[in-house]
Amino acid sequence: MDAIKVRGLTKKYKNFTLDGVSFSVPSGAIVGFIGENGAGKTTTIKAMLGLIQADSGSVELLGHTPKEADGSWKEEIGVVFDEGYFPENVTPLNVEKILGRIYRTWDGKTFQNYLTRFAVPRETRYKELSRGMKMKLSMAVALSHGARLLILDEATSGLDPVVRSELLDLFLEFIQEEDHAIFLSSHITSDIEKISDYILLIHQGRVLLYENKDVLMYQYGLVRCSREQYEKLSPKHCRGYRKGAFGYEVLVDNREELGQAWDCVVDKISLEDLLVFLTRKEP
């Protein structure tokens, strides 16, 4: 079963269009959602959650549509945005009292356990918490009402490496349950690369790539070659290039085949390489 199904999602603004975005997130998987600033990641997530009205397309979350009258299933979705959404003067203890009355599935013991695990001060006002502590509090909330699906928009952005590592470990723990899934948007491609099963790349409102991460890492490579070698490469396998003082760097999608047939260096890629070369092609 797919935890998320998005088909033809479209939203038009004056200077930007989310153009027919389609993808699925299988249960038991982590999908990393990447793209440059303004590519449409947050617009996609807000449209998925019904926070903005899409012009066309369809969305299913855990087999339900956001417009269903009975929204009790939404308690099975944990959502975290990069900006906090709690009132400035509430404390984590206040948060528990408030949300315990809102969520029928709220688990106070689980919430308290996460506060302890993350060392979140229980009686400190929200506005006095560090960014890292605010994010940990948001994650504690998302994981304390029986969520099976996490939708995370820049949840690790701006955090120090130690806090990010803690959260990544938590995501990997969460996904051990076969009916759980995570949709993680982030500018930090190294985080995505560490934990994701699938990579979804969006550029200028359109999906450029959606593939199993291991397949991507196997198929794609970075060729360093001379101009003469570059001109002999098959255009259908060249996905982007960069010209330097000492030759060309070319992103290809047939790394193994090319490495066996050519007398040149074909390096493995990182997700950062993939993002840069696919979205910044030279004219």
pLDDT of residue 260: 64
Residues 149/4, Cβ–Cβ less than 8 Å? yes
Angle 131-142/108-118 helices, nearest 10 degrees? 150
The β-bridge partners of 200 are: 33, 210
Q: Where are the alpha helices (DSSP H) in 119-242?
A: 131-142, 161-174, 189-195, 213-219, 227-232
pLDDT of residue 262: 67
Pairing of strands 221-225, 198-203: unpaired
Q: Which helix (H) or strand (E) holds 255?
A: helix 255-261
Give the angle 265-269-272 at the CA atoms, nearest 5°: 140
Residues 44/221, Cβ–Cβ less than 8 Å? no
What is the residue whose two structure tokens read 């002999």? 232
**CA proximity to 132, closest of 148, 144, 121, 147:** 121
Give the angle 39-191-132 at the CA atoms, nearest 5°: 95
pLDDT of residue 282: 55
Q: How confident is the model at residue 266 (pLDDT cuts 50, 70, 90)?
A: confident
149: amino acid identity, one letter: L
Q: What is the pLDDT of residues 70-127, one digit of tens each?
A: 778 889 999 998 877 789 999 999 999 999 899 989 999 999 999 998 899 999 999 9
- Distance CA(256)–CA(268), nearest Å, equals 10
Q: How confident is the model at residue 147 (pLDDT cuts 50, 70, 90)?
A: very high
Structure-block tokens of residue 4: 């998320």
Q: Is residue 149 scored above 90 in pLDDT?
A: yes
Rounded to the nearest angstrom, the gap between the alpha carbon of residue 115 and the centroid of all alpha carbons in its chain is: 24
- Distance CA(202)–CA(186), nearest Å, equals 12
* Structure-model confidence comparison of residues 140 and 66, the more confident one: 140
Q: What is the pLDDT of residues 39-56, one digit of tens each?
A: 999 999 999 998 999 999
Q: What is the mean pLDDT of residues 248-261?
A: 80
Q: What is the mean pLDDT of residues 257-282?
A: 78
- Distance CA(111)–CA(118), nearest Å, equals 11
- Distance CA(129)–CA(13), nearest Å, equals 35
Q: Is residue 245 scored above 90 in pLDDT?
A: no
User: In degrees rounded to 5, what are phi and psi of residue 75?
Assistant: -65, -15
Q: What is the DSSP string of 208-250?
A: EEEEEHHHHHHH-EEEEE-HHHHHHS-GGGEEEEEEETTEEEE
What's the mean per-residue pLDDT of the chain?
Answer: 89
- Sequence-ordered list of residues with C-beta below 8 angstroms from that of 225, at least 6 positions apart, any chain: 233, 247, 248, 250, 262, 264, 265
What does R_g of the chain's alpha carbons equal in angstroms?
A: 21
